[in-house]
C-alpha cells in the first residue's frame, strides 16, 4: 500500500511506523522531530501553524488493517455502483412497460366502443328485419282479403291497399320484400361477424394487459 503522508519539514514520504503527531494536529516524521526538538533543542513551535506544543505523540498505523479497510471500501463502492445501475435499468424497463400498458389500455377502450357500436347496429338491423316480417305478413293478409271478398270503403283508402292497387303484381311485391329481407339479413350477418372479430381482439388485448400487469408485480416483488 502507498501512503500519501509527507513530512512538512523534509518533504519526504513518511513511513507509517515513523510518524509523530503534535498537539495542533500536524504530523512530521520521527527523524525530523528527533533532530529538531530532541538533539538541537529548538523551540517547540509547529513549522506550519506556529502553534506551541509540549511533546509529540508517536503514531502506529497497521498497514494490513488499512489495506483491508481500503479493499472493503472499494468492494462496497463497486457493489453500490452495480446496484445503482441495476436499479436504473429496472426503472427504465418499468417505464417502458407502463407506456406499453397505457397504449394497450387506450386501444382496449377504443375496441370496447367499437364493440358497443357494432352491437347497437346489429340490434337495430334485427329490429328492422322483424318489422319487415310483420309488414310482409300484414300485406299478405290484405292481399288474401282482397282476393276473397269485395273491398270495403275503408280498405280502399288504406295506404297499403292503394300501393298494392297501383302495382298488383304479387310476385313482384313478394320478390321486392324478399330481396329487402335478404339484404337486411346479410347486413346483420356482416355486423355480427365484425362484432365477433372485435370481441376476439378485445379479449386478446385484455389478456396481454393482464400478463403485463402480472409481470410488473413480479418484478416489484423481486426488487
Which domain CATH number covers 21?
A: 3.30.40.10
Say if 185 falls within a structural domain. Answer: no
Beta-carbon contacts of 143 under 8 Å, excluding residues fewer than 6 positions away, are 164, 170, 173
Q: Are residues 94 and 51 in the same domain?
A: no
In order of 56, 106, 108, 208, 212, the CA distances from 203 in angstroms are: 83, 14, 9, 9, 14
Q: Which residues pair with 57 in a beta bridge?
A: 21
Q: Which domain holds residue 3?
A: 1-60
User: Per residue in 83-103, pLDDT tens?
Assistant: 888 888 888 888 888 888 888
- Mean model confidence pLDDT for the chain: 75
Q: Are residues 56 and 87 in the same domain?
A: no
* Number of domains composing the chain: 2
Sign for the pseudo-dihedral over CA of 176, 179, 182, 183: negative
Q: Identify the pLDDT of residue 221.
A: 45
Regarding whether 56 and 4 lie in a shared domain, the answer is: yes
The answer to whether residues 94 and 133 belong to one domain is yes
Q: Is residue 136 a part of any domain in this protein?
A: yes
Least confident of 16-30, 72-86, 113-127, 191-205: 72-86
Residue range 161-167: mean pLDDT, rounded: 54
Q: Are residues 110 and 143 in the same domain?
A: yes
Q: Which pLDDT band, with edges at 50, 70 and 90, does 123 fall under?
A: confident
Report how far residue 160's alpha carbon sits from residue 164's, in angstroms, rounded to the nearest whole number. 6
Q: Is the pLDDT of residue 192 over 60?
A: yes
114 falls within a domain? yes
| Cell of residue 76, nine digits | 462496497
Alpha-carbon distance of 187 to 163, in angstroms, equals 27
Q: Domain ends where: 96, 113, 148?
A: 148
Read off the pLDDT band of 22 (50, 70, 90): very high
Which of helix, strand or coil describes residue 199? helix
Amino acid at each position: 500500500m502507498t501512503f500519501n503522508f509527507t513530512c512538512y519539514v523534509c518533504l519526504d514520504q513518511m513511513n507509517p511506523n515513523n510518524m509523530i503527531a503534535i498537539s495542533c494536529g500536524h504530523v512530521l516524521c520521527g527523524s525530523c522531530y528527533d533532530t529538531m526538538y530532541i538533539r538541537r533543542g529548538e523551540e517547540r513551535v509547529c513549522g506550519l501553524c506556529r502553534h506551541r506544543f509540549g511533546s509529540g505523540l508517536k503514531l502506529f498505523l497497521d498497514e494490513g488493517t488499512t489495506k483491508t479497510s481500503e479493499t472493503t471500501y472499494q468492494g462496497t463502492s463497486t457493489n453500490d455502483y452495480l446496484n445503482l445501475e441495476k436499479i436504473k435499468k429496472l426503472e427504465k424497463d418499468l417505464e417502458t412497460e407502463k407506456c406499453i400498458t397505457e397504449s394497450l389500455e387506450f386501444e382496449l377502450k377504443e375496441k370496447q366502443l367499437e364493440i358497443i357500436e357494432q352491437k347497437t347496429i346489429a340490434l337495430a338491423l334485427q329490429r328492422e328485419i322483424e318489422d319487415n316480417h310483420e309488414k310482409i305478413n300484414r300485406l299478405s293478409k290484405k292481399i288474401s282479403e282482397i282476393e276473397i271478398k269485395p273491398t270495403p270503403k275503408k280498405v280502399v283508402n288504406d295506404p297499403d291497399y292503394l300501393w298494392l292497387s297501383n302495382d298488383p303484381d304479387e310476385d313482384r311485391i313478394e320478390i321486392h320484400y324478399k330481396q329487402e329481407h335478404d339484404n337486411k339479413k346479410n347486413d346483420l350477418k356482416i355486423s355480427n361477424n365484425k362484432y365477433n372479430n372485435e370481441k376476439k381482439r378485445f379479449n386478446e388485448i385484455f389478456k396481454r394487459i393482464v400478463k403485463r400487469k402480472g409481470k410488473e408485480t413480479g418484478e416489484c416483488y423481486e426488487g
